[in-house]
Amino acid sequence: LESSLLTQPWASVCFGESTFLAKASFRDTGYILLISDLSSVWYESADAEAVGQRSKELNKRLMVHVSSFLRHLYNLMCPLLAGQQDAATSFSCHHTAGSLSLHVKSELSGLPFYWDFHCCPAPLEMVSRHLVRPLIRMSLALQCQVQELTSLLLQKDAEIEDYRESGAALSRDRLRTEPFQEETFQQNFAAEVRSKSS
């Protein structure tokens, strides 16, 4: 389950006025949910036996197979993670320093359906595997991309300057650009990042 979770993208989800990042993986054998507010990371992993036990406690009138519960949970969570929450399904959450509970209310086979995800703090290795390492890899990839684009811009400026020195002129003055100043660009970018994070 956790290896399949690695291939799932993070999604932004809102519960009331709180915004979280979440990802989940569902199988016939159980599910795993990872959720973060970027200060803490919580998770729950439940196998088919745990799902069956909790479904009996929360949905005494529903007599369906555990796999049906898991498919229904998958069908409820997918729209949420895709930013297309179903109006017939409500989500709410309650979190303390040590845990986070996600409450789901919907319908199944014409009867009320309830589910509680009981999440506890994620182990450090899980946080690193699903959040820290991918972010660092993405940051490094973006840095390489910026360096390549900077090099390309400087080459283009040199090419344009060579054309000018050869007597070439722009046919449309609105296409004229100022030479790229790498240091100024980096300073402006850093200032913009600071202003957005403050």
Q: Is 1 helix (H, G, I), strand (E, B) or coil?
A: coil
Of 51 and 195, more confident: 51
Rounded Cα distance between 100 and 140, Å, is: 32
Mean pLDDT over the full length of the chain: 89
Rounded Cα distance between 32 and 159, Å, is: 54
Within 13 Å, how many C-alpha atoms sit on residue 131's CB side?
21
Backbone φ/ψ region at 97: left (φ over 0), alpha (ψ -120 to 50), beta: alpha
Q: Is 111 helix (H, G, I), strand (E, B) or coil?
A: strand
Within 13 Å, how many C-alpha atoms sit on residue 161's CB side?
9
> Which residues lie below 8 Å from residue 82, measured CB to CB, with a gap of 6+?
11
The domains of the chain, with CATH numbers, are 1-122 (2.170.210.10), 128-196 (1.10.287.450)
pLDDT in tens, 92-150: 998 877 889 999 999 888 889 999 999 999 999 999 999 999 999 999 999 999 999 99
Kindly provide the residue ranges of all beta strands, DSSP E only, lying in 122-173, ordered along the sequence: none
Q: What share of the chain is helix, strand, coil (3-state, %, to 5)?
A: 45, 30, 25
Please give the average per-residue pLDDT across 47-56, as a whole number: 92
State the pTM of this model: 0.76
Q: Does position 30 have pLDDT exceeding 80, yes or no?
A: yes
Residue 198: what pLDDT? 64
Q: Does position 84 have pLDDT exceeding 90, yes or no?
A: no
